Amino acid sequence: MASRFYLPLRFAQVASSMVVLGLSIYITNETNKTSNLSSTQANFLIFVPFFSTVMTLYMELVYKFAPNGKSRHQLSHLILMNINSRAISLFYLRGFVALAVFLAHQKLCAGSTCVSSQADAVFVALTYVLWAASATFRGIEISEFGKSVELTDEMNEKIVEEA
């Protein structure tokens, strides 16, 4: 069901992660020019896109080379991918909340750094929604996996009874 959405979803995740990474690097660079410390929110949002890109590569490559079929190994891999998707979506949610609180407490927000921070917050929220959708699709796939294994077991029992 959801497998046709994975490739476009992964592309959108990586593209929005790269936008978040670029904006966060710009914010950190501009902040370091004007003061000695950059915001921890922007620094965290530099880590999260790197982590999510590495995990996306892991999830796609391992899924491609994992054995196909309805085995326990396949189910454990699907569960691991779902946990990774949920963890990454929570990282983006935390980054969005931290950046939004940081922007809300700014007394004066003007200039390219402020506009970049606002755009970064929007793209972090978008990326969170994309990763949450990925986790939801994986959860649906896991629930369908369990149903197909049950059907296969029932069919095997009928074959044994007939023989």
pLDDT (tens, 9 = 90+) of the chain, 163 residues, equals: 456 777 888 899 999 999 999 999 998 888 888 776 777 888 899 999 999 999 888 877 877 776 665 666 677 778 888 899 999 999 999 999 998 998 888 777 778 888 888 999 999 999 999 999 988 988 888 887 766 555 455 545 555 566 5
Q: How many CB atoms lie within 10 A of CB 7?
A: 10
- The whole-angstrom separation of Cα 93 and Cα 45 is 11
Structure tokens at 18: 């790269």
- The whole-angstrom separation of Cα 139 and Cα 37 is 41
SS3 2: coil
Residue whose token pair is 């069901």 = 1
Of 45, 76, 47, the C-alpha closest to 62 is 76
The model's pTM is 0.81
Residue whose token pair is 């949450």 = 132
Into how many domains does the chain fold?
A: 1
Contact residues for 141 (Cβ-Cβ < 8 A; gap 6+):
1, 2, 3, 78
Range of the domain at 129: 3-162
Residues 67, 72, 73, 74: what is their CA dihedral angle, to the nearest 10 degrees?
Answer: 50
